[in-house]
Structure formats: structure tokens, C-alpha cells
Amino acid sequence: MRNDVTPRKNWFDAGGNAYAQFRPEYPAGLSRFLAGIAPTREMAVDVGCGNGQLTRQLATYFDSVIGLDASEDQIANARTQDKVRYLCAPAEKLPLPDNAASLITAAQAAHWFDLPAFYAEARRIAVKNAVIALISYGVLRLEPDDLQERFIEFYRNEIGPYWPPERKLVDTGYADISFPFDERAAPEMEISRAWELGDFLGYLSTWSAVRRVNDAGREYILAAFVRDISELWGDPAKKRPVSWPVNMRLGTI
């Protein structure tokens, strides 16, 4: 692949603001479902909340929602909403009282946690029969097929070596993650969007593997992908279908 191609815009220079702008929102049915199986609707706790995509949606159904993230940058870019409070704290040491939460969620975050320590904290803050939900969304799907084929080549082979090992847990929908709870079935759900080219590239800018490619001085990999996908996309303002499968591990504490 050529190494002399540079993108007109550096799509891959991202921080917490990019997460807030480009990460996809979860389907409304997810929060509704989780609220429906929680023993009460007094408090939900969203751990590893990022900038609050799921946190804010839970506020529609719960009296109080706490969003926690270890990253000050993510919390600084979290969007405020009534009934939502954000705290900067790690998943392994939650600054919350015992027996407080009816629902504990971790959306696209649990693969970064020290799971035994997080689970111990979840048990501590949970009310009786509280629900714990580890949520992830898988590899995106683009339409038409030629866009998808070029994207998969980029995802698996070109930046594949730069993904941290934890990414494999996301790719498998957390199927192989330790989950020592009374497990319950989860419904099939999907995130569906119609994105312009800039939305798609902005989303990719939030990936850890992309940041590692930049740090390794191999920006030409990203530049070549921008060139190829732009040619295949055509009009950059044209909205194209993008979707992700939503995966869950659900349990009762």
C-alpha cells in the first residue's frame, strides 16, 4: 500500500469530544427493556459511562442515574440531563453506598475492567435482585458490499495488529467474558444509523487501534483508507446505512 497519501483532513485526531460527537446512541428499546426487568426504578448506575450515551437514556425510566468513568476527559464531555449525575471514578472502586442500585450497566466498557473487583463492587452497591448488564455493540456493517469489504480489510488486517487484546471480547459479544451471575436471556437489538462520510470517519477516530497507528507513525495506513473509502462512498454528504448488533450479558445479583 502506498505511503505517500495524506488525507485532506485529519479525521483521526480524537479525544473525549469526538466520543461525544460520533459514538452511536443505543436504541431506545434498550433502556426500556432494562428498566422493565429491574426490581425497582429508584437508581440505575452506568459504569464506564464515557460521555453518557446510555446514562442519559436510562434517566427516562429511573428516578436517579449515576454515570461513572475513570477518564476525566470523558466526564468533562458528558452531556448533562435531569436526574443524571456524573462522577469520575474507576469501575473497581465505586463511590456509592451499599444496597443502592437496582440496575448496574457497563456499555462498551467492561472489557477494560478488572472484572473480579468490579463484580465485587456491583454486589456491594446492588439491591436484592438487582440487574447487571454488560452491553457491547459489535463490528459495524456498511452498505453496499464494496464499502463493507474495504472496511473489513481495514478493520481486520490493516489496523488489526493495533487492537488491544481486550477487543476480542467485544468482537465475540462478551461470550467469553467471566460472568458469575444468574444469567437471563437478552433480546436481539441493533443500532441503525444513516451516516455521511464524515460521521463514519469521525466514529473511526475514536478507536484505540487508530490512535495506536498514529502513535506508531504509520498514518499512511489511515490516509490510504480515507482515500479508498472516499472514492467508494462518492458524494460525502450522501447518507448510507450503518448498523451494529447489540450484545448483552444479563444477570441477577
Q: How many other CB atoms are there within 10 angstroms of residue 138's CB atom?
A: 16
**pLDDT score, position 56:** 96
18-252 has which CATH code? 3.40.50.150
Residue 15 has pLDDT above 60, yes or no: no
| Confidence tier at 206 by pLDDT (50, 70, 90) | confident
Q: How confident is the model at residue 189 (pLDDT cuts 50, 70, 90)?
A: very high
Predicted local distance difference test score (pLDDT) of residue 23 = 73
Selection from 16, 133, 31, 137 nearest residue 79 by Cα: 16
Averaged pLDDT for residues 127-153: 96
Instruction: Please enumerate, as own/partner, the contacts of 93-96 that have beta carbons within 8 Å and a separation of 24 or more.
Output: 93/117, 93/121, 94/45, 94/47, 94/68, 94/121, 94/124, 94/125, 95/68, 96/45, 96/66, 96/125
Whole-number pLDDT of residue 217: 92
Residue 21 has what pLDDT? 65
To the nearest whole percent, how much of the chain has pLDDT over 90?
Answer: 77
Is pLDDT at 70 greater than 70 in this prediction? yes
pLDDT per position as a tens digit, 23-49? 778 998 999 999 999 999 999 999 999
Residue 176 confidence (pLDDT) above 70 = yes
Q: What is the pLDDT of residue 65?
A: 98
The gap from C-alpha 86 to its chain's centroid, in whole angstroms, comes to 17
d(CA 201, CA 215): 18
Mean pLDDT of the chain: 90
- The span from the CA of 211 to the CA of 12, in Å, is 7
Show Cβ contacts of residue 160 under 8 Å, excluding neighbours closer than 6 positions: 209
Q: Is the pLDDT of residue 11 over 50?
A: no
Name the 3-class secondary structure at 244. strand
Closest CA to 133 of 53, 39, 253: 253
**DSSP label at residue 13:** -
Distance CA 121, CA 206 (A): 28
Domain boundaries, the chain: 18-252
Helices then strands, each counted (H, E), the chain: 10, 9
* pLDDT tens-digit readout, 96-115: 999 999 999 999 999 999 99
CA atoms within 13 A on the CB side of 118: 27
pLDDT at residue 164 is higher than 50: yes
What average pLDDT does the segment 184-205 reach? 93
Position 59 scores a pLDDT of 97
DSSP 78: P
**What local confidence, expressed as pLDDT, does residue 14 receive?**
46
